[in-house]
Amino acid sequence: MNYGDYSRIEKAIKFIQEHAEDQPDLDKVAGHLNLSPFHFQRLFKDWSGISPKRFLQYLTVEKAKKLLTESRSVLDTAFETGLSGPSRLHDLFVSVEAVTPGEYKSMGESLRIRYSFQQTPFGECLIALTDRGVCGLSFTGDSSGEIELSILKDRWKNAVFSEDPAEGRDTAEKIFAGNSGKKDIRILMKGTNFQIKVWTAVLNIPGGYFASYGRIAKEIGCPGASRAVGTALGQNSIGYLIPCHRVFRETGVISGYRWGADRKRAMIVYEASARDGLDHGLNKE
């Protein structure tokens, strides 16, 4: 698939979500994108592995609740063993390091950060790398990439920045290329003690499985802190690798994602459909 097609995929997701009660047919969604039904069907299946009709089924509140229920026993094991991978979907094993309190205060002094903009199945991202691992992964969306870059530089004010498209491309391919053998990824987290606890807990959610904000709060020993958990997830600066998109409300409502609710829905369905045994890129209903 051409990763550049994601903008049209997200536009379709937004339209399908906004008109879910009307159950829009293929012709209506395709017309909204100014594509023929045949072209849109092929485009959508190339990206998700499922038809737009089946995708719509994943966007219902009832389906989201079911995904949470189906995930519970798997999460019990994952949280009990404390393992963060490898994900069945991506064969990633993520190892974590957090900056020290002194490094937190120094705002990245003596740290060299290489950055670049890369295409992914979920749109363009800004990826930032250090010798100790990925320290940033954010999606540019409709905004200028310079906005995300300025946020990154503000987060690590005293670091030395340089652009490195080749290293960024190699890392992005390792993260998003799918099944091609076990791949180790290191990440460098910068946050408060509470944020680090939340992000580390979320790393234990396997690909294709999901948790509620309340479940994460319970796992870090702060039952009743669902709102604080949501705030911490919203402050995550390493998107996708720290899979905050796998956390949503017990009610089944999917919202509250730093890089857009439609992108969050795309990630959830993409992973859930793969877990259900649907192969990406194949024309299956």
Provide the H-helix boundaries in 33-100: 37-48, 52-58, 61-81
Tell me which residue has tokens 């974590």: 96
CA–CA gap between residue 17 and residue 112 (Å, rounded) = 42
- H/E stretch holding 266 reads helix 261-275
Provide the H-helix boundaries in 107-192: 145-155, 165-176
Which residue in 125, 135, 222, 244 is the catalytic one? 244
Angle between helices 193-202 and 226-234 (to 10 degrees): 90
125 is catalytic: no
Upstream peptide bond of 86 is cis (omega within 30 degrees of 0): yes
Please name the amino acid found at residue 107: M
DSSP classification of residue 281: T
Where in 190-270 does DSSP place strands (E)?
A: 211-212, 247-248
Contacts of 178 (CB under 8 A, 6+ apart): 89, 90, 280
Do residues 222 and 228 lie in contact, with contact meaning Cβ atoms separated by under 8 Å?
Answer: yes
CA–CA gap between residue 272 and residue 63 (Å, rounded) = 10
> What is the set of active-site residues?
244
